[in-house]
Each structure stands twice: as C-alpha cells, then as structure tokens.
C-alpha cells in the first residue's frame, strides 16, 4: 500500500511538471531572455507572441511594456493593432458569403456597389471581387493608399473618390498592393448583408472563435490593456498619437491579442475553416483563399519567389508551404505565419516599427523544423536594418545638399494663404499662424503642419503629429503672377523612419479662394 501511494505521488508529480517540460521544448532555450535582449537592442517597448502547434496553443506571452510613460507590462491579452493582417480576415469573411451563395469571387463589384467607379469605364464595368483581393486592379499602391489617412471622412467617401484616381499600372496587368481596394472588398459585406464590417466579423468569426478581445474599431479598444504605438524619431523612440483607421478597417484596422490570434491560427490549421466541431467556412472555400493566384513580383532572402492568394502571401521555406502576411500601421508591426503541413502557426506584434518581429517568428519556426540550419535571424535582420538606415541617411544628406541657400519665396507669405482643392484629395487650407505659414488637410487637426521655407517657392512640411514624415510642398504661380496651386510630394510608408523624402506621385490642388491675413 505504501509503495502504491508512493508510485501514485511520483506519477502525479511527473504529470504536474509535464506542461513546463513541453513549454521548454516548444521554444528555444532561454527564449524569453533572448526576446528581452532583442527589445533592448532594437529599442522596442514591447512585443506579444503567440505559437500554435498540432492544434495546441503552446505559447502566448507578452514581453516588455505597453507604453513608455506607464511602464505597465504586456500580457497575452494586451491588444495590438494587427494592421494588414486584417486583410486575411476580410477575405475569410467574404468566403462565408460565398459559401452561402450570396456572392461569388468573380462577381462584378458594381453588381453589389452600383455607385462605385474607377477612372476607366471598362475597368469599372469588369472589376471583380477576385481582382480586389489579389491586388490586380492597378490602383492604390501610391496615391490610393493615402486616402485611408482621411480619417475624418467615411468609408463611402473614400471609395467614391477612386473615380478620380489615375491607374498606376494597366488594369489586371500586375500586382499593385492596395489598401483602398481591400476597404472596398470589406464594404461589399455591408452592401450584401446590411451589417457593418465589424458587426459581421463579430457575429460570424470573432464570436464563434471566442476572440473576445478582437475588435475592428478603435472605439472598442480596452484602454486598460491596449498597447500604445511608438516610433523612432530622430534617434529616439517616443509615444505617438493613436490614429483611427475605422474607415479602412478591412485593410488594416483590426486590433487583437496573442491569445485571440492563436484561436485564429487554429481555425486556419488542421481542418481549415473549422474550430472544434464547428465549421465556419467550408474547406473548399478555405482552399481557394489559401491558393496562389498572382505573383507579387517581389522577393527576399527568405522567399525568392512570392505569390498572393486572398489576403495571404504564399511562399516556401525549407520545403514547407508558408502562408503569411505582414502588417504596419503607425507604431505597430505584425507578422503572421502558418505552415499547414506542420500544423504550425506564429503571430508576433511589436508596438514600434522594426524587423525584430520577423526574427522572432522565424526563430520559432526554425525550432520546429528538422534541420533548419543555423541562421541567426536577429543578426540578419538587424544588419539589414542598419545597412538600409545608413543608405537612407546618405540619401537624406544628398537631398539636403540640393537645397539652394539664400533664396526667398516669390510672394509675401500671406499671398500663399487660401483654400486649395483636389478632386481626389478634397481640400487643404493654407493659413497664417504666428507670422508663418501652416497647412491643414481635410479639416483634420491631426493633419496640420507648419510650412518651413526650403528654397524658392518650396516649403518643408513639418507635421505636428510626430508619426508623420516630413514632406515638401511647392507652390506654383499662374499666368497672372498670383499663387494658383501647389504640388505636394507624399512619402510612402517610411520603412526607415525620418531618414529622407521618398519620391512618389505628386498631386495638384487648385487654389480657388484667398484668405486675408
């Protein structure tokens, strides 16, 4: 009897330690300390990590802090912006409507949104849901992506303005990444069901999956346990304003947690489309979503060839298929990766821009792949980051050197004040403040900037929101010698943060009213 009791106690002790043993095997040795060291090296306030293997959640962990000024620790339930990983959720939501026979992937957009127009009549009449989800429309990479910054305007207004957007590439000619086209894809859900995008996701996906802390509106964030966005500005990581992306939620406005995203990954693995014994999306539809459709025309050290399905990039790594998507909004960087053959999934999100989230994800994946090699992913991404940073600093210095000294504006400053208008981008007000010029776009205080004279009639745009990058604005004179318009150089998303001006498309805004001093 004594021996039996002793054996039972030994067995119970062994079983009690099994989760800890499995947890140690699930991640590399000293993984937590390695992550903490990485946060310090990169200057990242905080990070959240989720890992799924063989249908089980084996890691949900937060490291670092939510916000510099608070110092509060991150946990697995802390909400982060997942940015463009939202696109995969949008495609999946549309898949539910496909299963119900309410839409087809090849439906024309105008069959569901009759008022939508592109600048080309043929494209307007033929563009399909499939085109939207595979970035085949040909608009949106440059100027169209800037429409989402009109955060004070509604989704329908943003979509209406696409009729004034020039094509960046011929329709259906190649992959042109577009946030605004995914916003349109999400709006189709509202047109078909009568539900707002977020309401549909909550009812059909987040609720059934138990993703209780995943929201598609900034207004629904739990401020008690939500990470704050940060950004490196002039060599210092600082807190930046939390921007409202509700009008472009289907493209990048969802906020979630490590714990919730492990549920999303389990939903994608095993029997894709099912969670437990409940089928939310058919396996056939999930296969369509996860199948390559177009080449992305881009590659990297880790993926020389990359294709795109519906809201997912599809590559191969070490002989395994990888379905993934990255994401970046103001102050948040995300990487989401699943390897179906290994039933392995990882989500990593940081609360500032970096590439460390990629290093963390790939380190965890390598830990679960036989003979993964000995790549030091953190060192690889860090050295690449530093090299790019140095190159961009050199470009900035070259750009600064082109500034002509000793020049002055053609006209008195007050002559530049007025209201300017553009069909695509609506209005901008140039006004005098404390004897200097300033500008406000779209009646939005968050999009207000001071204009510092650069040379001649060109001014540097210094945004009062530190999350925005400096731009240049050049005023043009008309035949009568008066100020007629201005051109503004928009910066595409700043990969290296405040290190230079990124040449993209210009837009022209016509002055129609002068403002007195």
3-state secondary structure of 467: coil
> For 9-68, what is the HEC assignment?
HHHHHHHHHHHHHHHHHHCCCCHHHHHHHHHHHHCCCEEEEEEEECCEEEEEEEEEECCC
314 and 454 assigned to the same domain: no
Task: Residue 318: count other Cβ atoms within 10 Å of its Cβ.
Answer: 14
Q: 347: closest CA among 27, 73, 82?
A: 82
Q: Are 211 and 256 in contact (CB under 8 A)?
A: yes
Q: Check residue 130 and give its pLDDT.
A: 98
Look at residue 19 and tell me if it is in a domain: no
Q: Check residue 54 and give its pLDDT.
A: 95
Query: How many independent structural domains does the chain possess?
Result: 2
Query: Using alpha carbons only, what angle is made at residue 54 by residues 328 and 312, rounded to the nearest 5 degrees?
Result: 30
Q: Check residue 517 and give its pLDDT.
A: 38
Distance, CA of 261 to chain centre: 16
464 and 367 assigned to the same domain: no
Q: What are the b/e assignments for 459-488, b being 16+ CB within 10 Å?
A: bbbebeebbbbbbbbbbeeeeeeebbbbeb
CATH number assigned to the domain comprising residue 244: 3.40.710.10
Q: 231: closest CA among 327, 333, 353?
A: 353
Look at residue 24 and tell me if it is in a domain: no
Q: Are 357 and 350 in contact (CB under 8 A)?
A: yes
358 and 487 assigned to the same domain: no
305 and 361 assigned to the same domain: yes
What would the two tokens of residue 343 be? 């039933």
Which phi and psi (to 5°) does residue 152 adopt?
-90, -5
Could you tell me whether strands 313-317 and 307-308 are parallel, antiparallel, or unpaired per DSSP bridges?
antiparallel
Q: Check residue 442 and give its pLDDT.
A: 81
**Helix ranges (DSSP H) in 170-225:** 179-193, 197-201, 207-209
Picking from 341, 356, 390, the residue at the C-terminal end of a domain is 390
Q: Check residue 299 and give its pLDDT.
A: 54
- As a whole number of angstroms, the distance between CA 506 and CA 501 comes to 13
Look at residue 218 and tell me if it is in a domain: yes
Residue whose token pair is 């989500």: 347
> Could you tell me the pTM of the whole model?
0.88
Q: Are 204 and 96 in contact (CB under 8 A)?
A: yes
Q: Check residue 497 and give its pLDDT.
A: 29
In total, the chain counts a number of residues equal to 517
Q: Check residue 478 and give its pLDDT.
A: 87
Look at residue 408 and tell me if it is in a domain: no
Q: Check residue 304 and give its pLDDT.
A: 63
Q: 221: closest CA among 67, 79, 49, 73?
A: 79
Which phi and psi (to 5°) does residue 456 adopt?
50, -125
CATH number assigned to the domain comprising residue 507: 2.40.128.50
- Show pLDDT as tens, one digit a residue, over the chain (517 residues): 444 434 433 433 333 333 333 344 789 999 999 999 999 999 999 999 999 999 999 999 999 999 999 999 999 999 999 999 999 999 999 999 999 999 999 999 999 999 999 999 999 999 999 999 999 999 876 544 566 566 777 899 889 989 988 888 899 999 999 999 999 999 999 999 999 999 999 999 999 999 999 999 999 999 999 999 999 988 899 999 998 889 999 999 999 999 999 999 999 999 999 999 999 999 999 999 999 999 986 655 565 678 999 999 999 999 999 999 999 988 999 999 999 999 999 999 999 999 999 999 999 999 999 777 789 999 999 999 999 888 888 887 888 888 999 999 999 999 999 888 887 777 888 999 999 999 998 888 888 999 999 999 999 999 898 888 778 888 989 888 988 888 876 443 333 323 333 333 333 344 434 444 3
Look at residue 502 and tell me if it is in a domain: yes
158 and 226 assigned to the same domain: yes
Look at residue 114 and tell me if it is in a domain: yes
351 and 263 assigned to the same domain: yes
380 and 424 assigned to the same domain: no
Q: What are the b/e assignments for 195-206, b being 16+ CB within 10 Å?
A: ebbbebbbebbb
Tell me which residue range forms the domain holding 77: 31-390
183 and 316 assigned to the same domain: yes
332 and 422 assigned to the same domain: no
142 and 177 assigned to the same domain: yes
Question: What is the side-by-side order of every strand in the sheet holding 313-317?
Answer: 56-64, 46-53, 344-350, 332-339, 320-329, 313-317, 307-308, 294-295
**Helix crossing, 377-401 with 31-42: angle to 10°?**
10
Report which secondary-structure segment, H or E, holds 252: helix 249-252
97 and 244 assigned to the same domain: yes
Look at residue 10 and tell me if it is in a domain: no
Q: How many CA atoms lie within 13 A of 248 on its CB side?
A: 28
Query: Using alpha carbons only, what angle is made at residue 430 by residues 426 and 435, rounded to the nearest 5 degrees?
Result: 165
Look at residue 183 and tell me if it is in a domain: yes
Contacts of 482 (CB under 8 A, 6+ apart): 411, 415
Q: Check residue 152 and give its pLDDT.
A: 73
260 and 311 assigned to the same domain: yes
């Amino acid at each position: 009897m004594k021996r039996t009791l002793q054996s039972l106690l030994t067995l119970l002790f062994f079983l009690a330690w099994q989760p800890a043993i499995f947890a140690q095997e699930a991640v590399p040795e000293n993984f937590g300390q390695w992550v903490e060291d990485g946060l310090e090296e990169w200057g990242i306030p905080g990070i959240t990590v989720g890992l799924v293997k063989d249908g089980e959640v084996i890691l949900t962990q937060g490291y670092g802090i939510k916000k510099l000024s608070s110092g509060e620790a991150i946990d697995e339930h802390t909400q982060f912006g997942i940015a463009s990983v939202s696109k995969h959720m949008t495609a999946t939501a549309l898949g539910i409507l496909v299963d119900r026979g309410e839409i087809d992937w090849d439906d024309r957009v105008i069959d569901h949104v009759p008022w939508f127009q592109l600048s080309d009549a043929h494209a307007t009449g033929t563009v399909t849901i499939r085109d939207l989800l595979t970035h085949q429309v040909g608009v949106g990479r440059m100027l169209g992506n800037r429409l989402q910054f009109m955060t004070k305007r509604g989704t329908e207004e943003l979509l209406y303005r696409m009729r004034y957007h020039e094509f960046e590439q011929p329709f259906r000619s190649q992959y042109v990444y577009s946030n605004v086209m995914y916003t349109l894809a999400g709006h189709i859900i509202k047109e078909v069901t009568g539900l707002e995008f977020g309401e549909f996701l909550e009812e059909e996906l987040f609720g059934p999956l138990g993703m209780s802390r995943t929201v598609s509106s900034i207004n629904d964030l739990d401020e008690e346990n939500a990470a704050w966005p940060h950004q490196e500005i002039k060599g210092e990581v600082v807190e930046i304003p939390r921007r409202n992306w509700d009008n472009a939620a289907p493209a990048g406005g969802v906020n979630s947690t490590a714990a919730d995203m492990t549920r999303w990954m389990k939903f994608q693995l095993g029997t894709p489309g099912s969670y437990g014994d409940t089928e939310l999306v058919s396996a056939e539809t999930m296969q369509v979503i996860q199948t390559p459709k177009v080449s992305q025309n881009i590659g990297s050290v880790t993926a020389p060839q990359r294709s795109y399905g519906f809201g997912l990039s599809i590559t191969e790594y070490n002989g395994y298929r990888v379905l993934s998507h990255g994401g970046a909004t103001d102050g948040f960087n995300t990487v989401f990766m699943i390897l179906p053959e290994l039933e392995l999934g990882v989500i990593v999100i940081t609360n500032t821009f970096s590439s460390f989230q990629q290093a963390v994800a790939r380190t965890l994946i390598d830990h679960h792949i036989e003979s993964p090699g000995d790549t030091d992913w953190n060192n690889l991404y860090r050295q690449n980051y530093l090299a790019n940073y140095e190159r961009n600093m050199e470009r900035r210095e070259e750009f600064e050197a082109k500034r002509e000294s000793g020049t002055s504006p053609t006209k008195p400053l007050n002559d530049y004040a007025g209201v300017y208008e553009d069909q695509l981008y609506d209005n901008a007000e140039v006004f005098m403040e404390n004897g200097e010029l300033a500008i406000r776009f779209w009646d939005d205080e968050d999009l207000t900037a001071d204009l510092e004279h650069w040379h001649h009639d060109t001014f540097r745009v210094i945004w009062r929101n530190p999350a925005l990058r400096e731009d240049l604005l050049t005023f043009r004179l008309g035949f009568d010698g008066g100020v007629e318009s201005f051109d503004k150089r928009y910066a595409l998303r700043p990969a290296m943060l405040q290190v230079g001006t990124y040449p993209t498309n210009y837009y022209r805004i016509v002055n129609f009213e002068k403002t007195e001093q």
